[in-house]
């Protein structure tokens, strides 16, 4: 099945700093999702981005499907940005069509 | 408010007992999913359902069972056959299989 790798595994920032999280995937995908898991475990949808660039406030994401990677940018980070960031891609066909395969996540800690 | 609800938030059971986790959505989504998350890991798919009265095994279905009698509801039963049931369980739904998935708040199950 498809493999998803995220980097870095851990990231520690001072409030106000910018950061870039990376997601590599091993096969062609027709969409990709970025999530933020808050300290209570809730998965918050950040982006649904099969290709191109999207922006939402201080966050933006870019997916280059032909090169099999996606980047999540966080600018002017805040303590509330802390948590785990996951990317996930779906099976494109065959068994478990639509099933999301998750990366291992990036643990982000933002200090005041 | 539209969304996905899971209950209970925390669940404690003795080894050897079956337990059922609830998942309800009022988003009018056809597809629903159950994922399991272990500490420090990404999510893995247990079961999914593309439509009412249909469901398919995911990657780690052994020891679990589901039903999909109503569009809004997709309960998961963790049976005594599941060897390591203690985990965080997340339910998700999407308009149809392969579309953007949205997650409920999760249920933390502890079996002793």
Q: For chain A, state the CA radius of gyration.
A: 14
In this predicted model, what pLDDT tens digit does every residue of A20-69 receive, in sequence order?
999 999 988 889 999 999 988 999 999 999 899 999 999 999 999 999 99
Nearest to A105 among B42, B92, B103 (CB): B42
The predicted pLDDT at position A64 comes to 95
Ranges of chain B whose pLDDT falls below 50: none
The predicted pLDDT at position B40 comes to 84
Averaged confidence pLDDT in chain A: 93
Pairing of strands B107-111, B10-13: parallel
- A21 CB-near residues (< 8 Å, 6+ apart): A6, A7, A8, A11, A71, A72, A74, A85, A106, A108
The predicted pLDDT at position A24 comes to 97
User: Which residues partner with A25 through β-bridges?
Assistant: A4
Interface probe for B, chosen from A10, A96, A104 (most Cβ of B below 10 Å), is: A96
């Amino acid at each position: 099945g498809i493999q998803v790798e995220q980097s870095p595994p851990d990231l520690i920032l001072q409030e106000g700093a910018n950061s870039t999280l990376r997601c590599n995937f091993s096969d062609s995908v027709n969409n990709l999702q970025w999530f933020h898991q808050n300290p209570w475990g809730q998965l918050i949808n950040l982006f649904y981005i099969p290709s191109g660039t999207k922006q939402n406030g201080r966050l933006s994401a870019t997916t280059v499907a032909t090169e099999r990677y996606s980047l999540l940018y966080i600018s002017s980070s805040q303590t509330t940005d802390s948590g785990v960031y996951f990317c996930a891609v779906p099976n494109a066909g065959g068994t478990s069509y639509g099933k999301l395969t998750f990366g291992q996540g990036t643990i982000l800690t933002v200090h005041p | 408010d539209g969304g996905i609800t899971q209950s209970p938030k925390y669940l404690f059971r003795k080894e050897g007992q079956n337990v059922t986790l609830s998942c309800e959505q009022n988003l009018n989504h056809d597809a629903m999913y159950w994922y399991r998350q272990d500490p420090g890991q990404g999510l893995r798919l247990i079961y999914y359902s593309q439509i009412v009265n249909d469901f398919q095994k995911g990657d780690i279905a052994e020891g679990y069972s589901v039903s999909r009698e109503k569009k809004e509801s997709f309960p998961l039963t963790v049976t005594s056959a599941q060897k390591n049931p203690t985990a965080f369980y997340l339910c998700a739904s999407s308009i149809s299989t392969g579309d953007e998935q949205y997650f409920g708040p999760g249920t933390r199950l502890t079996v002793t």
